[in-house]
């Protein structure tokens, strides 16, 4: 059963990578990049159970945190054109 | 399977003209690479790859894209000689790999030299439970210390360069913030 799940995850990865490469707009790419991170989390988790080492779940959690940081940085940059954006500066 | 995906993403990175898309793709690449390392049971390397590749380098690349121009100058001439050099060096390196011992066999010279000593005596000599940590932080302590100094110096250099640039630009525009 885990092997089937693994195959499904890899198939989803292929589809998402196609979207990252083809994606006409930036948002397609950002969303697809985020999905790759999510699928990597699932892949690591499934792999852990497939090999009988559920400790891999910790690594999957770390991936989740990193995925959030990367996506947030990209979106913030796209919105403001700057990473060190500060709302109070705008009001002043 | 994952490696095929990696190759596809790499080719796409090289061929893509939108720098923003390249940054998104490099994040994708890092996660795929980390998954491949995970499959090879190299959990620590996979963690480092995910943290540095997907986390920090995405932010750094975005910052670099903000600081520099996003326009590409036209290629002055076809790059035939560099291509030739790259192909020749690649073929020579592949040819050289035939002299190496087969991948992953247990009696390669690298596994016969000091590794058994570490495995046998590391815990008694250093009182560190993890042999990899013992080798990195104790047996090769000075080596690791040197690496830390190199990284630290590079960081200071980059900070000095960027600081000077920021002040110069603000002075010219008369808009100190």
Could you give the number of structural domains in chain B?
1
> Does the residue B48 lie in any domain?
yes
Residues of A with CB under 8 A from a CB of B: 10, 13-14, 17, 20-21, 23, 26, 29-30, 32-33, 36-37, 40, 43-44, 47, 56, 59, 62-63, 66-67, 69-70, 73-74, 77-78, 81-83, 89
Residue B11 within any structural domain of the chain: yes
Residue B9 tokens read as 């993403």
Phi, psi of B40 (to 5 degrees): -80, 10
Nearest to A70 among B35, B58, B65 (CB): B58
Residue B131, domain member (yes or no): no
Query: Quick count: other Cβ atoms within 10 Å of Cβ A40?
Result: 29
* pLDDT tens string B74-131: 666 677 888 899 999 999 998 888 877 776 676 767 667 777 777 777 777 777 777 7
Question: Is residue B117 in a domain?
Answer: no
- Our CA angle for B162, A84, A21, nearest 5°, is 95
pLDDT tier for residue B57 given thresholds of 50, 70 and 90: confident
Cα separation, A76 vs B147, in Å, equals 33
The ipTM value here is: 0.74
Q: Considering the domain boundaries, does residue B153 fall inside one?
A: no
Region of residue B22 (phi > 0: left; psi between -120 and 50: alpha; otherwise: beta): alpha
* Distances B119 to A88, B34, B111, B140 between C-alpha atoms, Å: 57, 27, 11, 15
């Amino acid at each position: 059963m885990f092997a089937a799940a693994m195959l499904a995850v890899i198939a989803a990865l292929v589809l998402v990578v196609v979207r990252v490469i083809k994606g006409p707009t930036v948002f397609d790419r950002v969303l697809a990049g985020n999905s790759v991170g999510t699928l990597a989390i699932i892949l690591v988790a499934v792999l852990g159970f497939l090999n009988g080492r559920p400790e891999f779940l910790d690594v999957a959690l770390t991936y989740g945190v990193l995925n959030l940081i990367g996506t947030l940085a990209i979106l913030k940059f796209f919105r403001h054109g700057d990473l060190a954006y500060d709302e109070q500066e705008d009001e002043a | 399977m994952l490696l095929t995906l990696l190759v596809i993403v790499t080719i796409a990175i090289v061929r893509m003209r939108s720098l923003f898309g390249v940054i998104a793709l490099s994040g994708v690449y890092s996660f795929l690479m980390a998954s491949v390392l995970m499959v090879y049971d190299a959990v620590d390397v996979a963690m480092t790859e995910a943290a540095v590749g997907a986390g920090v380098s995405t932010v750094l690349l975005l910052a670099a894209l903000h600081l520099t121009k996003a326009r590409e100058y036209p290629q002055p001439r076809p790059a035939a000689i560099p291509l030739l050099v790259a192909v020749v060096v690649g073929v020579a390196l592949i040819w050289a790999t035939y002299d190496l011992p087969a991948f992953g066999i247990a009696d390669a010279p690298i596994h016969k030299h000091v590794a058994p000593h570490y495995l046998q005596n590391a815990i008694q000599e250093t009182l560190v439970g993890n042999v990899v940590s013992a080798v990195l932080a104790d047996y090769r302590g000075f080596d690791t210390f040197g690496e830390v100094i190199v990284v630290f110096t590079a960081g200071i250099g980059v900070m000095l360069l960027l600081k000077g640039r920021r002040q110069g630009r603000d002075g010219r525009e008369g808009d100190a913030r």
